[in-house]
Amino acid sequence: MKLHLLIAVLVLAVLLIGCGDDASDLPAVHVIPTVKPPKEEVTSKAEIPSLDGLKVTRYRTGEVWSKGNILNSVRSGIWTTYRQGSERVFSLGSYEKGQREGSWKFFFESGAMESEGAFEDGQRQGVWRYFYEDGQLKCSGAYHTGNRQGAWVYHHPNGDERMAGAFAGGEKQGLWRGSFIGGLSAWTGTYDGGERTGFWVWFHRNGEKWKEGAFAEGDEVGLWTRFSSGSKHWEAEYAGGKLEGNWIMFYPDGEKMEMGQHVKGERSGDWVTFHPGGGKMSEGRYEKGQAEGRWIIWDDTGQITADGTYQRGRKEGTWKTFWPNGLTKVIEDFRDGLSHGPHKSYRKDATLEEQGNQEQGVRVGLWTSFHPNGAQSSKGRYDSSGRMGRWVMTDESGKKVTEGHYRHSARVGTWTRFENGHSRFSFNHDPIGELHRCCYWDDAHSLDEGLSGLYKGGTRVAALDR
């Protein structure tokens, strides 16, 4: 059992050291996959003799896991480990007094070499090389007592340099650079003890600058700038890796788009957005990253289009919106970001268009709409499902035009159309099968039996049964 534990620990220790990358800018750390079989698949202690000589361990399937020599009860000489299911070699190298020593090679499942280098006293030492599965060099550099040390170079799959810099004691140290395929710079900056420090700059693939700023102990500090299409997109102040202080965003022509402040990474205080040309678009305050208090919104002519208050990032209280001529368009109340309470909307000439109440963003209760002369246009009720019950539509003189009932905003039952206040036509929206009952009245207000009847798909198919 101890021998198996020793094998597992040594294999895992080697496999966890590979081509490390700058994780924030390039693909994740490369780790050689482990082939240590699950515990339940390893042969029992009784099947691993403690005597010296050639030893073979197997998976429970009978396939060879590893083989080599034991001397003085520890591994010695050449040892080979194999992948389960393919019998391909996973690792090949020598041991001395139970520790890896000298040249070692590791392989992909396909059989292609994944890495090669040397061990000394069980730790990686000297130059190591790592490969893509097609044989292209992935990265190379030196180890000292198991830690990466000195210059290391990383490559794209096509062989172009991807990243280069130096290590000290296993940590990135000094100037590092990253490159795109083709050789253009992707980024450059300095490390100290594995943490970013000093000024850093990143680039787009077309060579234009993307962003730049400074680090201290791995955190963003001071003024940072991001660019778009060669122009400054935004600039912001950082402290301890979080936005802290002024923030300004720009249009492509360099004019300000937005400005404000951050505190501990959250928007705080007065914030203003601008239209192209410099006119204000919106103005208000933030508290702990949420809009708070009065906010005003303008169109590009300088006319106010909305005015109201926020509470914890949600609309609260009375809000007004305005027509381009400055007259009120809508007055409505909000609660927790949803329209709640009285609602009135007006036309551009300031005449009332409709009024009613809302609850949690839904129309409820009695609603009335009006003609431009102030006369009632329609009147009826809403519930959470839409229009319900009796609705009446009238003309500008106050005479009925249509009348009927709704259920869930759909017309039901008999609807009647009027002319000069008298019934002219009625239509039953509840069909008898596929037939609808229709009644027509003539100018003398008598039932027109020639037109009245049962209709199907707009065609009269039967007279009324009187």
Q: Contact, 154 vs 164, CB < 8 A?
A: yes
**Residue 200 has what pLDDT?**
98
Residue 429 φ then ψ, to 5°? -85, -5
pLDDT of residue 4 exceeding 90, the answer is no
Tell me, what amino acid is at 231? S
pLDDT-derived band at 100 (thresholds 50, 70, 90) equals very high
pLDDT (tens digit per residue) in 340-350 = 999 999 999 99
Average pLDDT rounded to a whole number, residues 44-71 = 79
Residue 146 φ then ψ, to 5°? 90, -5
Q: How far apart, in whole angstroms, are the C-alpha atoms of residue 35 and residue 80?
A: 12
Dihedral angle over CA of 38, 40, 43, 44, nearest 10: 130
pLDDT of residue 452 exceeding 70, the answer is no
**Residue 56 has what pLDDT?**
93
pLDDT of residue 339 exceeding 50, the answer is yes
Residues 6 or more apart whose CB falls under 8 angstroms from that of 9 comprise none
Count of H helices and E strands in the chain?
1, 35
Lowest mean pLDDT among 50-59, 227-236, 280-289, 431-440: 431-440
- Percentage of the chain beyond pLDDT 70 is 85
Average pLDDT rounded to a whole number, residues 235-240 = 98
Dihedral angle over CA of 83, 89, 92, 96, nearest 10: 50
Q: How far apart, in whole angstroms, are the C-alpha atoms of residue 303 and residue 234?
A: 27
Name the nearest CA neighbour of 308 among 339, 346, 280, 276: 339
Return the DSSP state at 429.
S
Name the CATH code of domain 303-370 (choices 3.40.50.720, 3.40.50.2300, 1.10.230.10, 2.20.110.10). 2.20.110.10
- Percentage of the chain beyond pLDDT 90 is 74
More confident residue, 175 or 415: 175
Lowest mean pLDDT among 107-116, 175-184, 320-329, 445-454: 445-454
pLDDT-derived band at 175 (thresholds 50, 70, 90) equals very high
pLDDT of residue 70 exceeding 90, the answer is yes
Residues of the chain with CATH 2.20.110.10: 303-370
Domain 371-466 has CATH 1.20.1250: no
Residue 232 φ then ψ, to 5°? -65, 125
pLDDT of residue 211 exceeding 70, the answer is yes
pLDDT of residue 353 exceeding 60, the answer is yes
Q: Contact, 117 vs 129, CB < 8 A?
A: yes
Average pLDDT rounded to a whole number, residues 174-199 = 98
CATH number of 1-145: 3.90.930
pLDDT (tens digit per residue) in 261-283 = 999 999 999 999 999 999 999 99
pLDDT (tens digit per residue) in 363-410 = 999 999 999 999 999 999 999 999 999 999 999 999 988 898 999 998
Helix (H) or strand (E) run with residue 396 in it: none
pLDDT-derived band at 18 (thresholds 50, 70, 90) equals low
Q: Contact, 65 vs 84, CB < 8 A?
A: yes
Average pLDDT rounded to a whole number, residues 124-153 = 98
